[in-house]
Amino acid sequence: MTLDLHNWFSWWMIIANAVVGIWALVAHRREGWRHKKAQKALWCSTIFAQASVFAQAILGTWLIAREGRTAPDLHALYGFSALVAVGIAYSYRQQLQRHTYLLYGITGLFLMGLGIRSIILD
């Protein structure tokens, strides 16, 4: 059951981060996408998409610790690299204030790529 949830939720994480990544990159290029309501929607969506990375890591840790499963080679590395990427993006948000959309756009697509790469390993 937990494995099925982890597998299903991985696609949610990949798609959500791809969508917010592309959305942020478009907002970086087009000022019209940065009005107040769109900004709020983008940042709320980004929070949920990046929180899904943490949910995936918790589910994966549960599978290993409680159910005695083993992760495929490098699978855990990609998962924990995604956690680090979220932390790095968050920590640089003040320094890159003029390029916040670009930062979160690239981060979203990077997280999508890590998710796809970890699925390929299965």
pLDDT digits (tens, 9 = 90+) for 62-88: 999 988 888 888 888 999 999 999 999
Task: Using pLDDT thresholds of 50, 70 and 90, give the confidence band for residue 90.
Answer: very high
How would DSSP label each residue in 24-89? Answer: HHHHHH-GGGGSHHHHHHHHHHHHHHHHHHHHHHHHHHHHHHTT---PPTTHHHHHHHHHHHHHHH
- Three-state DSSP class for residue 71: coil
Q: Residue 94 corresponds to which tokens in the numbers above?
A: 């003040």
CA dist 91 and 88 (Å) reads: 5
- Give me the mean pLDDT over the 50-59 stretch: 95
- Percent of the chain topping pLDDT 90: 70
Written as one letter, the residue type at 50 is Q
pTM equals: 0.92
CA dist 22 and 101 (Å) reads: 10
- Give me the mean pLDDT over the 32-38 stretch: 86
Q: Residue 43 corresponds to which tokens in the numbers above?
A: 């940042």
Reply yes or no on whether the pLDDT at 121 is more than 80: no
Reply yes or no on whether the pLDDT at 122 is more than 70: no
Tens digit of each residue's pLDDT (9 = 90 or more) over 92-115: 988 998 999 999 999 999 999 999
Residues sharing a CB contact under 8 Å with residue 66, sequence separation 6 or more, in sequence order: 2
Q: Which residues of 92-101 are buried (b: 16+ CB within 10 A; e: fewer)?
A: eeeeeeeebb
- Give me the mean pLDDT over the 4-23 stretch: 95
pLDDT, residue 44, reads 96
